[in-house]
Amino acid sequence: MSPVVLRLDQRSGVPTYLQLVQQVEQALRLGYLKHGDQLPRVKDLVADLAINPNTVLKAYRELERRGLAAGRPGVGTFVAGTVAPIAAPERSALRRSLDRWLRSAEQAGLDDVGILALVDDALHERGSAAPPNGRRGVA
């Protein structure tokens, strides 16, 4: 049994396999996954998300290419690498601050799309790496 549940956003414009890769990376960064944890089995993701097995296999191959996962034939796919995690005390403090900011944004009338647009714009202004959806700016 995997410690994470993966989900899909059909409206995101991000390829399905890449959404799975990004979610595993986020789970590693947030400490929900750690070295040695088993990822969801291919057949479970196919059933839960109603997607093609090749999509899951493509995501897992990409995770392997990035050094974050390793497949064990007949057993499953396991976390084999790490990304720079966010330390728990900082994560907790930042999350509380973010929750307050999100409430302010909602009170100002922003919906999720507006909030994401504002965050994307702020990251772009800083010259940060591309946002998680892989797109930058307005299409």
> What pLDDT digit, counting tens, does each position of 64-108 carry?
999 999 999 999 999 998 887 777 788 888 889 999 999 999 999
| Token pair belonging to 37 | 């944890």
| Token pair belonging to 11 | 């409206």
Q: Does the pLDDT of residue 62 top 90, yes or no?
A: yes
The answer on 55 and 28 residing in a single domain is yes
Q: Indicate which CATH number applies to the domain containing 40.
A: 1.10.10.10
Residue 136 lies in a domain: no
Give the chain's domain count: 2
Q: Does the pLDDT of residue 53 top 90, yes or no?
A: yes
**pLDDT band per the 50, 70, 90 thresholds, residue 30:** confident
How many C-beta neighbours within 10 Å does residue 24 have? Answer: 28
Q: Does the pLDDT of residue 115 top 50, yes or no?
A: yes
Which pTM value belongs to this model?
A: 0.71
Residue 59 lies in a domain: yes
Q: pLDDT digit string (tens) for 116-136?
A: 889 888 888 887 555 454 444
The answer on 63 and 32 residing in a single domain is yes
The answer on 74 and 42 residing in a single domain is yes
Residue 41 lies in a domain: yes
What contacts 1, CB < 8 A, 6 or more positions away?
A: 38
The CA-atom distances, in angstroms, between 56 and each of 29, 49, 67, 80, 82 are 21, 10, 17, 17, 20
At residue 129, the pLDDT reads 53
What letter represents residue 114's amino acid? G
The answer on 53 and 28 residing in a single domain is yes
The answer on 71 and 33 residing in a single domain is yes
Give the structural domain span for 38: 16-79
The answer on 120 and 101 residing in a single domain is yes
The answer on 99 and 71 residing in a single domain is no
At residue 128, the pLDDT reads 55
